[in-house]
Amino acid sequence: MSKKKSVPQSAEPVDEVTVEEIDELDELSPTSLVKDDRLLLDRSMRFLVSIQTRRFVARARREGYSAAEHTEGWRLWKAASGSDRPLDHWLYEEKEQSVIGEPPALGATLQALDDFENMWFPRTRMIIARVVPASEREAFLNGFFANLSQQPLGPSVVGSVRTFLSRVDGLASSSSEHAKAVRKVLASRGLTDARLARVRALLDEAEGQGAEVPTRPDSAAEVGAAQVAQQEALAALRAWFVDWATTLRTAFNVNDRIQLGLTRVRRKKALPQEE
């Protein structure tokens, strides 16, 4: 599965994809923000909130920081963070990944089917050997287990168990009295219709019939286009934030800039370094 590129900090061109191309994608990667993206959102949020205080806003206005710029900053932040994207987009991304990937319970489902196979294949063989007269026993066994044998734990047990259930169903509807007798004994030993129904449910899970396929909000393009728009907003927010961090650098001292998120302090060997 391809991963979306994070927004670069440089002005170098980035890979782009059109809405039409998004609609043709087989699958969508989930929206993922890298460390630099999260840091940008944190610092710009701190600036947008803190700059409104009386001690800061007057100096910022003298440098050209207007109400319109403040509104634009919030607009970019909301778009870049994805906070204005519909909930259905995020639910869709999560469901898409769970369907594309292996269901968490698949291993347990295959194990349950394998346990069933290990129990009932040999039991059925022995019941047939006992119930069916010797003169017809071999032919009956060969017919019931034709192209049917126990499989190792894994996907192949789905096919063998599905075939086995079909053969068991055929016992009751068979014109052979011996077949009906075998079915009766199997039921008395625990292979009841209710038990068969539970196994069929496991087969449906393993085959994916029970999986909830996500409903695309309108089309794959809607979610894909929103992801592209969010990445573009991150780039625009970065440019907006760097612009004002540079413009306001001389308007505030270092402590004020740290409080506003305009300056970040990295600690190396216990000594603060401004960046």
Residue 121 has pLDDT above 90, yes or no: yes
Residue 173 has pLDDT above 50, yes or no: yes
What b/e readout covers 243-261, taking b as 16+ CB neighbours within 10 angstroms? ebbeebeebbeeebbbbbb
Burial label for 81, CB within 10 Å (0-12, 13-18, 19+), is: buried
| pLDDT band for position 12 (cuts 50, 70, 90) | very low
Q: What is the per-residue pLDDT for 148? A: 83
DSSP 123: H
Q: What is the per-residue pLDDT for 221? A: 72
Q: What is the pLDDT of residues 219-247, one digit of tens each?
A: 667 777 888 888 888 999 999 999 998 99
> Using alpha carbons only, what angle is made at residue 24 by residues 20 and 29, rounded to the nearest 5 degrees?
100
Cα four-point dihedral sign 9, 10, 14, 19: positive
> Using alpha carbons only, what angle is made at residue 26 by residues 19 and 33, rounded to the nearest 5 degrees?
65
| pLDDT band for position 30 (cuts 50, 70, 90) | low
- What DSSP assignment string belongs to 190-238? T--HHHHHHHHHHHHHHTTTTS-PPPPSS-HHHHHHHHHHHHHHHHHHH
Please state the rounded mean pLDDT for residues 102-112: 75
Q: What is the per-residue pLDDT for 146? A: 86
Residue 27 has pLDDT above 60, yes or no: no
- With CA atoms as reference, report the closest residue to 232 among 9, 79, 85: 79
Please state the rounded mean pLDDT for residues 112-134: 95
Please state the rounded mean pLDDT for residues 74-89: 77
Please state the rounded mean pLDDT for residues 248-253: 89
Residue 213 has pLDDT above 90, yes or no: no
Please give the radius of gyration of the chain, using alpha carbons only, rounded to the nearest integer: 32
**Torsion of the alpha carbons at 70, 72, 74 and 76, rounded to the nearest 10:** -150
Across 65-69, 96-100, 170-174, 231-235, least confident range: 96-100
- With CA atoms as reference, report the closest residue to 263 among 17, 43, 23, 16: 43
Q: Say what percent of the chain tops pLDDT 70.
A: 72
Across 4-8, 44-48, 172-176, 232-236, least confident range: 4-8
Q: Where is pLDDT greater, at 264 or 60? A: 60
Q: What does residue 268 show for φ and ψ, rounded to 5 degrees?
A: -130, 120
Average pLDDT over the chain reads 78
Residues in Cβ contact with 1 at an 8 Å cutoff, skipping those fewer than 6 apart: 27, 29, 100
Residues in Cβ contact with 30 at an 8 Å cutoff, skipping those fewer than 6 apart: 93, 94, 96, 97
Please state the rounded mean pLDDT for residues 129-142: 92
Please state the rounded mean pLDDT for residues 187-209: 89
Residue 208 has pLDDT above 80, yes or no: no
Helix H or strand E encompassing 274: strand 271-274
